[in-house]
A and B are shown apart, each in its own frame.
Chain A
Amino acid sequence: MAKRHFDIKAQPGFAFLAILTFAVLYLPIATLVVYAFNASDSVSIWGGFSLKWFVEAWNNSAVQDAAWRSLVIAFFAAAIATSAATMAAIATTRTEPYRGLGFKYAFINQPLMVPEIVTAVALLIVFSRLKVWTGYSGLGYLILAHTAFCIPFAYLPIRARLESMDLTLERAAADLYATPWMTFRRVTLPLLRPGIIAGFMLAFVISLDDVVITEFVKSGGQDTLPTYMLGQIRRTVTPEVNAIATAFLALSVVLVTAFFFINRQKT
């Protein structure tokens, strides 16, 4: 006699709502990508498959400049943030609680707590004055601002990695008369590497994606790819913006996939 199986995990309608959620998450992105390959000049009428908007975007010098600027800022911000976060993580993990530890946590995570628009206008106030006083208005301000909000993101995976390592290997190195620096170079750092790479990649993506703080801190002619796109969306929209967005999207997906696999390796 066949007994009907009672699935204790099922809830009525949940699967439907879950599928709806995934549709909601992917339909807009899919639309955006499809219209990037549209041959017609409009983003609403389909005129056949074409790569012309990618070519157009690639040859647009404003896009080239903005893309290059985005990459330069993201690279420096992520590199500095990851170095600072690595040192801070070593100082705040694998230790008995000490005075000031809570303060450090709060401080390092502060950029996550404050709405971006608030940080953006606060930086506008300070940097606009600094620009007048020093006469310098280069990319340094953007790199500094990006570094600050990248630190908590770089810090997270590095700290997680450190907490999963115990101190036995470092103690063994010290027992074998390694200096603290040698222990760090030859033992801690190689073990920590996956965390550092993950932290760098997170920081890089976060910097690359930033719109709000960049929009308020940048001087004239310092558009990054996101702020360039924001300006374009305000004006008439051609599939060129779709093409830029699609290329950007592809880069993010590659980075996130790589991050996913690096993170999975450690277990």
Chain B
Amino acid sequence: MATAAETARQGETETIRRRWLLSAPALIIIFVAAVGPLFVMLAYSFMARGDYGDVKFGQFSLDGWFSVFFQRDVFDDTVTLAEAHLSILWRSLRLSLITTVLTVILGFPTAYFIATRPRHTREIWVFLVTIPFWTNLLIRTFAMQQVIRNEGVINTLLRALGIIDQPLQIMYTDWAILFGMVYVYLPLMVLPLYASMEKLDFRLIEAGYDLYAGRLSVLWRIVIPLVKPGVIAGSILVFIPSLGAYVIPRVLGGGKNLMLGNLIEMQFGSGRNWPLGAAISITLMVLVMVALLFYVRNASKSGAQHG
């Protein structure tokens, strides 16, 4: 008996060892080319900046972190808040939040629309959302540029209709970034929303109407609470890439309307301040982690409620 248990345990350790060996290639690749470099970057954020980019290796300094939020006057050494950085941080947060809200406003009815189609046509609608989702982000950003340019579709149309004489300057404004992000991230909202609406039990809605609820209160008190997990998942999926957006503000926002991603790039390019760039990157990552934690807490809460 004892020997049988022993061999069983030995077999178990053997299996676990094999499982680690099997996962090793994936774990090593991700460590070398994703996780590891983040730790190196963390170390770099605490080093002195090099004269021509890079860092003075091994020389400790808090200047990088200091200049994320503050700046020192060149002449009298007074310390003030780094307003340029804070306004970019604020723009990133604000634009990401507005993008999330707008994608909910457009995505919620769309997902509901798809979920209420006959079963065999639903797949086609979902497929129509999936195609833009898998289309290159740069191509979609470029496509948006062609719509909102001064000679683009919107302006040509509005001028042909005689609504405006002068083209609306949309490109290189915050509006351009907003349009771009809503357009690019919309599928990320529709797909999780649809996933939760597909499971919606319409008998509950029928029961609501039987009890004399109006359309609005059915929506507000039955549909929305039931698909809340989908709304939260979609919001996280839209908010996180919006916050870290780089290509969209670079192409549509021009050089003036920076978001955090562009500010980071600047420190590694013309700014030649790698420790600052590393520190801003880590700040951005912390913001994303906070959003994710918020999601995990909410998801487990609503999961517990609905069993």
Contacts and interface: CB of A to CB of B under 8 A. Distances in A.
A87 B20 CA distance: 10
Contact of B247 (A110, A111, A145, A211): A211
A116 B33 contact: no
A125 B246 contact: no
B30 interface: yes
Nearest to B107: A21
B25 A12 contact: no
A44 interface: yes
A83 interface: yes
Indicate the size class of the contact surface on chain B: 35 or more
A245 B140 CA distance: 9
A125 B267 CA distance: 12
Given A22-B110, A233-B142, A91 B20 contact: yes
Nearest to B268: A121
Interface in A106-142: 107-108, 110-111, 113-126, 128
Interface stretch (B66-74, B75-83, B149-157, B297-305): B149-157
Contact of B109 (A13, A85, A125): A13
B171 to A, nearest CB: 12
B113 interface: yes
A63 interface: no
Given A21-B190, A44-B152, A85 B26 contact: yes
A6 B186 CA distance: 31
B10 interface: no
A141 to B, nearest CB: 9
A9 B2 CA distance: 64
A104 B186 contact: no
B101 interface: no
30 contacts: A8-B209, A9-B116, A11-B109, A14-B109, A15-B109, A25-B129, A25-B132, A26-B132, A29-B132, A29-B140, A80-B29, A81-B29, A85-B26, A91-B19, A110-B35, A111-B34, A115-B243, A117-B265, A117-B281, A118-B38, A121-B278, A125-B41, A144-B33, A145-B33, A147-B29, A211-B138, A230-B250, A233-B138, A249-B136, A256-B134
Interface of A: 6, 8-18, 20-22, 24-29, 31-32, 35, 43-44, 80-81, 83-85, 87-88, 90-92, 95, 98-100, 104, 107-108, 110-111, 113-126, 128, 144-145, 147-149, 151, 155, 205, 208-209, 211-212, 216, 226, 229-230, 233-234, 241-242, 245, 248-249, 252-253, 255-256, 260, 264
Interface of B: 16, 18-20, 22-23, 25-27, 29-38, 40-41, 44, 54, 105-107, 109-110, 112-114, 116, 123, 127-132, 134-140, 142-147, 149, 151-153, 156, 182-183, 186-187, 190, 202, 205-206, 209, 215, 219, 240-241, 243-244, 246-247, 250-251, 260-261, 264-265, 268, 274, 277-278, 281-282, 284-285, 288-289, 292
